[in-house]
Chains A and B, each alone.
Chain A
């Protein structure tokens, strides 16, 4: 339905209503389309008046819709009126109305009232992240940074994830402001980005840069740059953090992989205790390996070719400079078949160690174990993204570790059109020796950023950096 352009008399509304095919929901449909067309508020008012006269009451859902319209158009006094009416009518409101009220009021000069509503919501439930967002933005817009940060901390404490928008607004509104406390809080946000491996997008990066440069007496200068493969920043000549895991992180990750990925809730789901034990002794007796290969994954590089030939090519390609190889496979590969020729398998077993798991066991788990057990230099070969194994890890921190380790240690093989096999380290070419996260040395900050706003694949890392140094 098309909403009318001018306020209508009761009779006219009645007529429209009668013409409508489902008169029971006429008001809702009409208000929805008013919201869609952003109709003048007077039209909606006339509909409400008509409704009030006819029924002596207005349903809550209709009031909320009217409120939506008011919020969209920034009609602050109307928002107040609706709030008063709702407040008097109902003991409490639901989250949709609260969100609208907070959003509407926080954009006005009466933004403090939005804060009182937020307090009211907190008594009932955890406020939504958009509510927090509105309040934080309102507070920081009015230069009440302390209040904004209190809300922000509270939000984090309640496990409500802030949007990048909120984080950016902190930098935007703190520009040119003084204060050690404020500076500490903003550094805290940068560290939040670091801990959660979040990369800011270009406009966000610019806000960060401008804020740094605006700190009175701070003498910060920012430059956009690309980091060299060696990990040295071309601007400030600082060496970026190493991409290797620390001893502690490394042992932590290996432990978690054995516990969560291999054993999980039931060792029998992926392997069996006997098999895992046999594999463990096999690996311990032959340590360390340089490259661990997922035999079945690699054997599918080229679909036209026999599977064992693919594997043979890959093994030849990797078996250089006396690298110690371990190929993981399943027992069915040993049966002489059209895809797995016994002679070729024999020949390969001279070049690399082989471990054959049961046909119903998961070989990926063994792959991870053998690589981790061999030490930090060891790489593994598969095109699998290993997402399902990452998902088995129970906490976020370990998942981040896994991703970091995977970035540095996974090799993916691809075949070219000419039939040659190429390899390169997953998602990075060549392997980064430095870690791609927000980092600081005190007088420098290095912040990787995304060129575009959209999300990227989790295994990709941005290649552009913001370098900030203090003169």
Chain B
């Protein structure tokens, strides 16, 4: 054993030297490597002796020399505001800010209409990130195509025998549409309330539409789809424009009901339940006889009570998902995206299993499922709250005592 160790040490000692010389390990082996390369350095020094003195301002000459000669001739013309904005953007890009490389005329106009500097910055960053995503996507697609071509080239042209033609996606589409058509006759209605356009910014509207498109597709693919209603849907509204942009010509062939009527005109009022996170009532179970309404709204600024106000005005029942009851909430707002809502409602409809349904709540928003009996948990929560509140109150009192050290005045 010992001899083996000795041998190992020797090997290391031998192999370290050339390695160090190669990579120039500076710390402990520095003196060694310097002696080794001394002669080389001397040679180099000689070679650059004539230009020993550095001309520090040489870069200015270079920068000036690279310029076109007719600088004085091109008088700085007054730029049009659009061109000026484009120019500014270009400079920001050169300065290394988050700015898109290419920007369309329309985007440039939106950029100029931004009311403040920070709004401008935000918009540009949004475009920049979007551009990055697009580029990445494209790169991935290209790679995929290349791989596919390679695979095709290597594959021999023997074809498998099978009793089915390879028409999977079309057949699936047909089956889905069949189901969706059935749901339009027999299915349980689900209403999207499209009356929030005024409460949202342009971007929020387009986010909303994206979420609804996703909801619709997962509804279509489910075993027992809802009959989707878009109520209060105005022709030529922002929603409409966004939908056409998303669906293109498929918009006319969707198996859903779109109407400008209010849900209260279509369905009996006592069957309607407005789902909103602000509702004081918590949903206990999914009711197959009721018609649930989801507000088509993305509110990044968390405007509380907007959809609750709508339900109150029409005198409808409201309900919130029992998020608190089943999940230990940790962070984030209780309002969920529309596609998450759709997933949850579909799961509830099929299984009536809250735990399974609430799997679709984003994981970052909760720490885990509640498995203790709710009562006990409530107790501990109450305890935590009183501790927290108690502490906070003490803090406030201390603050006041500090600011007003005189005796409190008795009233």
Contact among B54, B280, B305 with A46 in the assembled complex (CB-CB below 8 Å): B54
Q: Give the residues from 50 to 96 in chain A that come closer than 8 angstroms, CB to CB, to chain B.
A: 51-53, 56-61, 64, 81, 85, 88-94, 96
Residues 190-214 of chain B, each 1 if its beta carbon lies under 8 Å from chain A, else 0: 0000000001000000000000000
* Pair A59/B60 contact, Cβ less than 8 Å: no
A46-B51 Cα distance, complex, nearest whole Å: 14
A126 partner residues in chain B, CB cutoff 8 A = 117
| B176 CB to nearest A CB, Å | 39
* Pair B393/A429 contact, Cβ less than 8 Å: no
Known A49-B59, A64-B95; judge A359-B306 contact (CB<8 A).
Answer: no
B312 partner residues in chain A, CB cutoff 8 A = 268, 272, 360
* Pair A317/B411 contact, Cβ less than 8 Å: yes
Q: Give the residues from 302 to 344 in chain B that come closer than 8 angstroms, CB to CB, to chain A.
A: 304-306, 308-310, 312-313
Known A52-B58, A92-B88, A93-B91; judge A269-B63 contact (CB<8 A).
Answer: no
B309 partner residues in chain A, CB cutoff 8 A = 266-269
* Pair B91/A303 contact, Cβ less than 8 Å: no
Does B168 interact with chain A (Cβ within 8 Å)?
Answer: no
A58-B66 Cα distance, complex, nearest whole Å: 11
* Pair B87/A92 contact, Cβ less than 8 Å: yes
Known A45-B59, A414-B408; judge A97-B66 contact (CB<8 A).
Answer: no
B79 partner residues in chain A, CB cutoff 8 A = 91
* Pair B92/A7 contact, Cβ less than 8 Å: no
A349 partner residues in chain B, CB cutoff 8 A = none
A53-B66 Cα distance, complex, nearest whole Å: 12
A49 partner residues in chain B, CB cutoff 8 A = 54-59, 62
Known A92-B91, A269-B306; judge A52-B62 contact (CB<8 A).
Answer: yes
A196-B84 Cα distance, complex, nearest whole Å: 35
Does B170 interact with chain A (Cβ within 8 Å)?
Answer: no
Q: Give the residues from 260 to 303 in chain A that come closer than 8 angstroms, CB to CB, to chain B.
A: 265-270, 272, 300, 303
Contact among A88, A266, A267, A416 with B67 in the assembled complex (CB-CB below 8 Å): A88
B117 partner residues in chain A, CB cutoff 8 A = 126
Q: Give the residues from 88 to 121 in chain B that come closer than 8 angstroms, CB to CB, to chain A.
A: 88, 91-92, 94-97, 117
A56-B305 Cα distance, complex, nearest whole Å: 62
A318 partner residues in chain B, CB cutoff 8 A = 411
A285-B157 Cα distance, complex, nearest whole Å: 93
Does A181 interact with chain B (Cβ within 8 Å)?
Answer: no
Chain B minimum-CB-distance residue to A90? B91
| B405 CB to nearest A CB, Å | 11
Known A60-B91, A61-B96, A269-B306; judge A424-B408 contact (CB<8 A).
Answer: yes
Contact among A85, A267, A360 with B280 in the assembled complex (CB-CB below 8 Å): A360
Residue tally, chain B, CB below 8 Å to A: 51
A59 partner residues in chain B, CB cutoff 8 A = 94
Does A42 interact with chain B (Cβ within 8 Å)?
Answer: yes
| A302 CB to nearest B CB, Å | 9
A85-B56 Cα distance, complex, nearest whole Å: 16
Does B137 interact with chain A (Cβ within 8 Å)?
Answer: no
Does B404 interact with chain A (Cβ within 8 Å)?
Answer: yes
B67 partner residues in chain A, CB cutoff 8 A = 88-89
* Pair A92/B84 contact, Cβ less than 8 Å: yes
| A180 CB to nearest B CB, Å | 38
Does B252 interact with chain A (Cβ within 8 Å)?
Answer: no
Contact among B56, B304, B396, B409 with A424 in the assembled complex (CB-CB below 8 Å): B409
Chain B minimum-CB-distance residue to A272? B312
Contact among B87, B310, B397, B410 with A91 in the assembled complex (CB-CB below 8 Å): B87
* Pair A429/B406 contact, Cβ less than 8 Å: yes
B389 partner residues in chain A, CB cutoff 8 A = 300, 303
* Pair A57/B66 contact, Cβ less than 8 Å: yes
Main secondary structure of the interface of B (DSSP, over half): helix
The range of chain A's interface size is 35 or more
Contact among A9, A85, A124, A269 with B305 in the assembled complex (CB-CB below 8 Å): A269
Does A423 interact with chain B (Cβ within 8 Å)?
Answer: yes
Does A458 interact with chain B (Cβ within 8 Å)?
Answer: no
* Pair A45/B308 contact, Cβ less than 8 Å: no
| A109 CB to nearest B CB, Å | 22
A267-B92 Cα distance, complex, nearest whole Å: 45
A267 partner residues in chain B, CB cutoff 8 A = 309
Does B390 interact with chain A (Cβ within 8 Å)?
Answer: yes
Does A460 interact with chain B (Cβ within 8 Å)?
Answer: yes
Does B71 interact with chain A (Cβ within 8 Å)?
Answer: yes
| B385 CB to nearest A CB, Å | 9
B393 partner residues in chain A, CB cutoff 8 A = 303
Does B167 interact with chain A (Cβ within 8 Å)?
Answer: no
A53-B64 Cα distance, complex, nearest whole Å: 13
A270-B56 Cα distance, complex, nearest whole Å: 70
Known A58-B63, A92-B87; judge A11-B48 contact (CB<8 A).
Answer: yes
* Pair A360/B397 contact, Cβ less than 8 Å: no
Residues 87-125 of chain A, each 1 if its beta carbon lies under 8 Å from chain B, else 0: 011111110110000000000000000000000000011
* Pair B64/A88 contact, Cβ less than 8 Å: yes
A430-B57 Cα distance, complex, nearest whole Å: 69
A125-B386 Cα distance, complex, nearest whole Å: 53
Q: Give the residues from 14 to 67 in chain B that come closer than 8 angstroms, CB to CB, to chain A.
A: 44, 48, 54-60, 62-64, 66-67
Does A48 interact with chain B (Cβ within 8 Å)?
Answer: yes
A90-B84 Cα distance, complex, nearest whole Å: 12
A124-B386 Cα distance, complex, nearest whole Å: 57
A56-B65 Cα distance, complex, nearest whole Å: 9
Given A85-B63, A124-B84, 9 additional A-B pairs, CB 8 A:
A60-B94, A91-B87, A94-B91, A94-B95, A268-B309, A269-B304, A414-B397, A414-B400, A424-B409
A-B contact list, 13 entries, CB within 8 Å: A52-B63, A56-B62, A88-B71, A89-B67, A97-B91, A268-B312, A270-B305, A303-B393, A320-B411, A416-B408, A422-B409, A424-B411, A429-B404
- Closest 5 pairs (CB-CB, A-B): A268-B309, A52-B62, A60-B94, A94-B91, A52-B59
Residues of B whose CB lies within 8 Å of any CB of A are 44, 48, 54-60, 62-64, 66-67, 71, 76, 79, 84, 87-88, 91-92, 94-97, 117, 199, 280, 304-306, 308-310, 312-313, 386, 389-390, 393, 396-397, 400, 403-404, 406, 408-411
